[in-house]
């Protein structure tokens, strides 16, 4: 894998984020994309051993496009500064919890697990599961193996409600968790870690550690059949 080339390309892209530059450097992009594809393919193959939901997925199913499809009007950059994938049953956009790997220079490479952009229906289902099965939720979010790979634990720094969700009491013991709008863990990797020989093994171990939490979230959601997956 040419992960050094991938990081170098993304560094150059960050400094020249225009369609004209990309057109001039299309072969460079294709080479960097191939490096990322190989990385994602190896992660998929190895992670499927611990999570059968990932078996049978292809890199085309899980890799995100570099182009910003939903670019804000004030954002002059047409391309993301990272390459990555969403590893979950049904592919990157499936309405499920899963794993997310992104490669970005300057220590911004990232592995996440959970659901970071859930729909209102998904949020309602997860909140209900936490309310009914709080003991198991806390067991999974505090699992030693999970915290070994994701020391910060479940992210509570993202967007959340200012009031209790509809149907939940203000004195609910799990109110702090029910107000969250995302449910996931994440960690960054330095460029040196990305380039180290054991990077894939490290990522796969993180995925395995997060699988019980991801399973808890997915058990709250409609089945794969209901989602058409």
| Beta strands across the sheet bearing 98-103 | 83-87, 98-103, 109-115, 183-189
Residues 6+ apart with CB under 8 A from 10: 32, 81, 82, 83, 103, 104, 105
pLDDT tens-digit map of 111-122: 999 999 999 999
Q: How far is CA 187 from CA 34, 111, 193, in A?
A: 24, 6, 12
86 within 8 A of 54, measured Cβ to Cβ: no
How many domains is the chain partitioned into structurally?
Answer: 1
- Asked, for residue 19, whether it belongs to a domain, the answer is yes
- Asked, for residue 41, whether it belongs to a domain, the answer is yes
- Asked, for residue 91, whether it belongs to a domain, the answer is yes
pTM to 2 decimals?
A: 0.93
pLDDT tens-digit map of 112-159: 999 999 999 999 999 999 999 999 999 999 999 999 999 999 999 999
pLDDT tens-digit map of 71-80: 555 678 999 9
- Asked, for residue 187, whether it belongs to a domain, the answer is yes
- Asked, for residue 191, whether it belongs to a domain, the answer is yes
The domain in which residue 203 lies consists of 3-220
Is the per-residue pLDDT at 189 higher than 50?
yes
Q: What is the pLDDT of residue 71?
A: 52
Q: How many whole angstroms from its chain centre is CA 164?
A: 27
């Amino acid at each position: 894998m040419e992960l050094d080339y991938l990081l170098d390309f993304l560094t150059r892209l960050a400094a020249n984020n225009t369609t004209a530059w990309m057109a001039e450097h299309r072969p460079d992009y294709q080479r960097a994309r191939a490096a990322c594809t190989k990385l994602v393919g190896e992660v998929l193959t190895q992670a499927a051993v611990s999570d059968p939901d990932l078996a049978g997925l292809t890199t085309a199913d899980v890799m995100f496009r570099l182009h910003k499809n939903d670019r804000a009007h004030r954002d002059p950059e047409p391309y993301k500064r990272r390459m990555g994938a969403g590893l979950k049953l049904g592919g990157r956009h499936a309405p499920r919890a899963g794993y997310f790997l992104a490669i970005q220079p300057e220590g911004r490479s990232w592995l996440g697990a959970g659901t970071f952009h859930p729909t209102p229906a998904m949020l309602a289902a997860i909140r209900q599961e936490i309310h009914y099965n709080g003991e198991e939720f806390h067991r999974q979010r505090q699992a030693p193996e999970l915290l070994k790979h994701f020391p910060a634990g479940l992210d509570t720094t993202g967007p959340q409600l200012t009031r209790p969700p509809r149907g939940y009491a203000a004195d609910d013991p799990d109110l702090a968790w029910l107000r969250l709008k995302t449910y996931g863990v994440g960690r960054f990797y330095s460029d040196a870690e990305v380039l180290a020989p054991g990077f894939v093994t490290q990522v796969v171990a993180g995925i395995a550690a997060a699988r019980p939490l991801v399973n808890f979230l997915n058990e709250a959601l409609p089945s794969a059949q209901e989602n058409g997956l």
